[in-house]
Structure 1
Amino acid sequence: MSQFEPKYRPNGKTSLGTGSFGTVNLVQNIKSKQLYAIKSIQQCNIQTPYEQEGVEREIKVHLKCRHPNIVNLYDSFIEQGNVYMVLEYAENGNLYNYVQRRKRLEEKEACKYFIQTCKALQYLHEMNVFHRDIKPENLLLDNNNDLKLCDFGWCAENIHLKRKTFCGTYEYMAPEIVSDLPYDYKIDIWSVGVLLYELLHGYAPFKGKEYKEIAQNIKNGLIRYSSTISQDAQELIKNILQKDPQSRLSFKDIYQSAFVQRCFPQQQGCKINQIISQN
């Protein structure tokens, strides 16, 4: 850590938040003055071989990722038994806080972040990895307000291998997880449906005072939409949030949906049809 020094934010703190197993702080490289986010995992938080394996997998997978909508992991090292990850700094914070400040997003802006999340996840799935913890807090915004997926602490390799590890964030869990059934990468697809709903409403579709109530609402699958939400947005969310994983839309289907075709912002001369043709 000798090459870095703490960088204090306007609130007088260096903390950027917490991730799975660790904390994230803003630092500056002493020589280059470049800002980075450093995720630190204390040795005391790695208690079991399973947790050690998880940290090693997080680093291995993240180091291989090079995608415009995924936060870069530049380096990792161990110092005094603690694990440190040197990450790209996304200066505009996370998507959760961004949405909360605005109450909800207009459909075109929501679609932009929804598609950028889909593109990041599609890239991971093509690498035979799924994330398992999609939520607005794990979606960061850079200085151009473009989205960057972060926190690979719950990622898993081999997307078609069924598993039963209970993980993720309650409101974003797929029915198969809360029903204690084997699941695969299609839980990520479910999560982007929940994400789109939350971006448009300002809150997740399945709420509750405690986990049991949230889980029951997810199993019931009853979704109520605001009258301000367009029919094509409702249709897309409904077709993603299918209880049967095999019935959920693919990314190609999502890109070709009426909502995305209507709302996707024409950024940098890139049209949605170009994205479809690339995948």
Structure 2
Amino acid sequence: MIVQNKVTILKELHDWQNIIKFYGIISDENQWYLVTEWAERGNLREFYQNKNDFDLKLKLRISLDIARGLNFLRTVEIFHRDIRAENILITLNETAKLANFKLIRYRHGGHANPNLDQIRYRAPELLERANYKYDQRCEVYSFGILLWEIAEERIPYQDNNNILDITDEVRNKMYREPFSENSQMPEEFKQLEIEAVHHDPDFRPKISKIFEVLNNCFKKYSQVTSSSSGPNLRGNSRNNSMQKSLPKRADNIDAYALPDLESFKYMTLTDAAKQHKLYDKHGKLVG
């Protein structure tokens, strides 16, 4: 039944650009395996640890990719439930895609006991009560922690490998990892991250709002970097060598002017995908 549920969900998400494509299932004598799109550049953590030119523009673009995928899941009432760097895969053209749907459930589903890496992204209300009903605000918190990791290129709470210690710091002491003093991330990005990891779930922004802010951020800083007189907008890359040109993506920069997904309300997966396809890359209605 679990495999069947995964297959049903992944088949219907197949055409969404920021969710890993699902092709089918295979089995040997003892186990079933999901066959998915191959992401040549590995997961997000492997990507930034191995990339010498993880600059500001690319950080914003990857953040926006993830937000777009989460915003689509919101419209069809699905939670990912395990947002972290290892579950974001990067394709050859450096597009970020949500992956590893082993914990995905429709909104009435429960959640499993977390491991150490999951604890680093887990909302304080979930750490407080094991039976807390997972909602969009929990998803936003995890994404907020991931935004910090993208900005800083560091594992959250990487100096602490004790689940109980991290739980105490986050839940009781309300500690969150700060941005480094030399961070060149836009102020609106940093403020968004701070709001996303707010201790009170009611003060966290909605996924649709996060998408809107990141979309505006990316467009703004893309325009600056496209100017020959623009300032150096490199992030916290460990190597300040000349920025390499990125491989072309299927969606060019204008594709970020997407329709307002908030207006979709809640619908079936099929209807949501059809609604998205009614718009061209400029966000204009075409059908």
TM-score normalised over the length of structure 1:
0.71
- Secondary structure at the aligned position of 1:57 is classed as helix
Matching of residue 227 in structure 1 with residue 181 in structure 2: yes
Deviation at 1:225, TM superposition (A): 1.7
Deviation, 1:130, is: 0.6
Q: Which moved more, 1:126-135 or 1:213-222?
A: 213-222
Deviation digits for residues 124-180 of structure 1 (CA, Å, limit 9, x no counterpart): 22222111111111111111111121110001112xx48454346111111122112
Q: Percent identity?
A: 22
Unaligned runs of 5+ in 2: 224-250, 263-287
Whether 1:123 aligns to 2:75 is no
Shift of 1:75: 0.8
Give the 5 Å matches for 1:1-279: 53-65=1-13, 66-102=15-51, 105-158=54-107, 161=108, 163=110, 165-167=112-114, 169-180=118-129, 181-207=132-158, 208-219=160-171, 220-223=173-176, 224-229=178-183, 230=185, 231-257=187-213, 260-264=215-219, 265=222, 268-270=252-254, 272=256, 274-275=257-258, 277-279=260-262
Cα deviation for residue 104 of structure 1 reads 8.7
CA contact (8 A) 2:90 2:96 kept: yes
Distance verdict in 2 for CA 1:137–1:104, change over 3 Å: farther
Check whether the contact 1:99–1:105 (CA below 8 A) recurs between aligned residues.
yes
Checking the alignment, whether the CA contact within 8 Å between 1:105 and 1:201 is kept in structure 2 is no
- Alignment CA distance shift 1:243-1:139 (3 Å): same
Q: CA deviation at 1:201?
A: 0.9
- Give me the whole-angstrom Cα distance separating, in 1, the residues matched to 2:23 and 2:97: 15
Question: Which residue is 2:241 aligned to?
Answer: none
Cα deviation for residue 97 of structure 1 reads 0.8
Contact 2:137 2:206 in 1 (8 A): no
- Name the count of aligned residue pairs: 223
Asked if the contact 1:132–1:167 (Cα under 8 Å) also holds between the matched residues in 2, the reply is no
CA–CA separation in structure 2 for the residues paired with 1:255 and 1:184 = 17
| TM-score, normalised with respect to structure 2 | 0.69
Between the aligned partners of 1:255 and 1:172, the Cα distance in structure 2 is: 19
Opposite residue 194 of structure 1, the aligned amino acid is: I
Offset of 1:276 from its aligned partner?
Answer: 5.4
Question: Structure 1 pair 271/57, CA: closer, same or farther in 2 (3 Å)?
Answer: closer
Question: What's the secondary structure of 1:76's corresponding residue?
Answer: strand
The Cα shift of 1:192 comes to 1.1
Contact 2:120 2:157 in 1 (8 A): yes
CA shift, 1:255, in A, is 3.3
Q: Where is the strand percentage greater, Structure 1 or Structure 2? A: 1
In 2, distance between residues paired with 1:164 and 1:148? Answer: 22
Deviation for aligned residue 1:221: 2.8
Distance (whole Å) between structure 1 residues aligned to residue 33 and residue 255 of structure 2: 39
Q: CA contact under 8 A between 1:132 and 1:155: conserved in structure 2?
A: yes
Work out whether residues 71 and 211 of structure 2, in 8 Å CA contact, stay in contact via their aligned partners in 1.
no
Find the residue that maps to 1:270 and give its secondary structure.
Answer: helix
The 1-side partners of 2:79 and 2:59 are apart by: 23
Q: CA deviation at 1:260?
A: 4.8
CA distance in 1, matches of 2:5, 2:90: 25
What amino acid maps onto 1:146 in structure 2?
Answer: T
Aligned-pair Cα RMSD in Å: 2.4
1:241 and 1:64, CA in 2 relative to 1: closer, same or farther beyond 3 A? same
Amino acid in structure 2 at the alignment position of 1:261 = N
Q: Which has the higher contact order (CA 8 A, sep 6+)?
A: 2
**Distance apart, 1:95 and its partner CA:** 1.0
| SS, match of residue 193 in structure 2 | helix
Q: Distance in 1 between matches of 2:215 and 2:27?
A: 44
TM-superposed CA distance for 1:83, in Å, is 0.3
CA contact (8 A) 1:252 1:276 kept: no
| Preserved CA contact (<8 Å) 1:74 1:88 | yes
